[in-house]
Amino acid sequence: MTSEAGPGEVGERRNVSDAVGVVVLGACATWSLITATVHEGRPEGVLLAVLAVAAGYAVGRICGVLLPVAAPCAGALAGLGLVVAVPYLAPGPQIVAPLGHAGATAALLTLCVGAACCAAWAAESSAGRFAMGALAAAITVTAAVLGSTSGFVTCTAVVLCSLAAGRMRSRGAGIAGLALTAALVTGLTWAVAGNALPEGLTTSLEGQLTQHRVQLWQDALHLAHRNAALGVGPERFGELSTTATRTLLSDGKPHSALLQQAAEQGVVGVALLGASFCWVLHALWRSARPTPVVLTAGAALTALAAIAAVGNALSFTAVSVGAGLLAGLATARPLADESPQPEAGLRPRGDRLTP
């Protein structure tokens, strides 16, 4: 089996991936402005999130080239320090009841573990790999110490996926598996909101998710059905949700990125959210970084997508910046014009990959 793609063609494909990213993020910002104009919404939150992802991605692309080990290590340490020093991840008055900020904490810790594991795979010495692996283990333990059960579970999952990535023969199969995982979590969230699951399973999930969260999801789905085209406008869910208005200390969020997009920005908003995740997976697939680095970052970002599907993690700027940073680190181009890393079982021969 051979591959005819040379360095020039590979570089062109990466340029296409970058252009697609610009279009997708630009479309997310533009659509939020359109829906806000129609319904007198407040698009600032969406615009800030898009800017945070773009800024983090740009910094990650630069630092990933110059400091492929030190940059993800520094990012992991910075994220861990932020979680410990600023437990609520945001200044000012905090709303901790009834759902709180647990999802954001879990998401940031998961991204930190992903960055540490990426640094471990990028390290050339055994000592460096051991140190970065120990950092990933320490972050996972910290999640347990802080009482973040979901964070401990997702951090552990990322570490295990990273170990498995070292034995993957095909990065494409790994990326496909991550996409399928995200799709399953998304479908399950929508099914819970629509009460489409068997009664026993629904009751079990409500016990884990809390009835209040499920009621918020149902409100969001109801608003989405009534306003499928344009939604009700950014940041207007809290005003129109029956459950949110009856809650004493509501943060005005449905605690699901998917359902928030559906309720506030309609079908197009949901499509753009899905396109953003697909673009990230495509960029990772085309990345010139080693396959273990790519799949580790993909696992962490997929875990983030799962957390965001059942929580309000993406409402925190630190999480958005961290997601963009990790994606940028894992897709950074080498300074020299090189071909992508050959997959396991293939060795380079000229401009071809030969078994």
pLDDT tens digits, residue range 7-25?
Answer: 455 556 567 888 999 999 9
Tell me the HSE value of 58 on the side-chain side, using a 13 A CA sphere: 8
User: Before 334, cis peptide (omega within 30)?
Assistant: no
pLDDT mean over 118-134: 95
User: What is the torsion angle, in degrees rounded to the nearest 10, for the CA atoms of residue 201, residue 202, residue 204 and residue 208?
Assistant: 130
Residues 6+ apart with CB under 8 A from 214: 192, 193, 205, 206
What residues are paired with 352 via a beta bridge? Answer: 349
Amino acid at 37: T
The contacts found for 123-126 with CB under 8 angstroms, 24 or more apart, are 123/69
Other CB atoms closer than 10 Å to residue 337's CB: what's the count? Answer: 11
Q: In this structure, are residues 133 and 120 in contact, taking their beta carbons and an 8 Å threshold?
A: yes
Check if the beta carbon of residue 166 is closer than 8 Å to that of residue 175: no
- Mean pLDDT on 288-315: 94
Q: What is the pLDDT of residue 153?
A: 95
**Token couple for 296:** 């580790």
Taking all residues of the chain, what is their mean pLDDT, rounded to a whole number? 87
Q: Where are the domains of the chain?
A: 42-90+97-339
User: Where does residue 256 rank: exposed (0-12), middle (13-18), buried (19+ CB within 10 A)?
Assistant: buried
- Of how many residues is the chain composed? 355
Residue 260 has pLDDT above 80, yes or no: yes
Residue, of 137 and 252, whose pLDDT is higher:
137
Find tokens 């078994």 and name the residue.
355
Q: Which amino acid is at 269?
A: G
Q: Specify whether the CB–CB gap between 281 and 106 falls below 8 A.
A: no
Rg (CA), the chain: 20
Amino acid at the residue 54: A
Per-residue pLDDT tens over the stretch 203-232: 888 888 888 899 999 999 999 999 999 999
- Report pLDDT for 338: 44
- Give the per-residue pLDDT at 100: 53
Would you state the pLDDT for residue 6? Answer: 47
Helix (H, G, I), strand (E, B) or coil at 56: helix
Q: What would the pLDDT profile of 63-104 be if each residue is shown by its tens digit?
A: 999 999 999 999 999 999 999 887 766 554 444 444 556 788
Cα 296 to Cα 221: distance, rounded to the nearest angstrom:
33
Mean per-residue pLDDT, 128-156: 95
